[in-house]
Amino acid sequence: MLLRLFLLFTIAPAVELALLIYAGTRIGTLNTISIVILTAILGSVLVRHEGLSVLSRFRTNLAQGVFPTEEIFDGALVLVSGTLLLTPGFITDLIGLLLVIPAGRDLIKPPLKRYLRSKFILVPPGDSPWP
């Protein structure tokens, strides 16, 4: 696990930096910086809109007595997308954009849920996992 985190925090920024340098040489430094700033601004607007939408659905479900499981999951993904969209880089922006759009979240959620279920022990209500 530690090795994966180390690789994530060293290789991902190096690849992002290489892409930014490549884009800077191809389209110019000012254009590259403008794209990075524009995606951060657009990302913050999209995250705010989607966050408020998720919060509204969350409140509606609570008012109806329904536990807002999907909304909690969506809220977490929107939070991650906001972080990725504010991080300079093209790959992080692409992943962040995929997570902030509801259709993109719908693509990501099923495999992510399967992964999370495989990592956690699900205990039926009323049963205790402790002896």
- State the pLDDT confidence band at 127, using cuts at 50, 70 and 90: low
Q: What percent of the chain is modeled with pLDDT above 70?
A: 92
Q: Which of the two residues, 126 and 90, has the higher pLDDT score?
A: 90
Q: What is the number of alpha carbons within 13 Å of residue 124 lying toward its C-beta?
A: 1
End-to-end CA distance of the chain: 29
Q: What is the mean pLDDT of the chain?
A: 90
Say what the pTM is: 0.82
Q: Residue 121, Cβ neighbours under 10 Å: how many?
A: 6
- The answer as to whether 98 is a domain residue is yes
* CA 11 – CA 6 distance, rounded (Å): 8
pLDDT tens readout for residues 86-96: 888 999 999 99
- The answer as to whether 56 is a domain residue is yes
Domain of residue 45: give its range.
14-104
- The answer as to whether 116 is a domain residue is no
- The answer as to whether 54 is a domain residue is yes
Question: Is the pLDDT assigned to residue 131 strictly greater than 60?
Answer: no
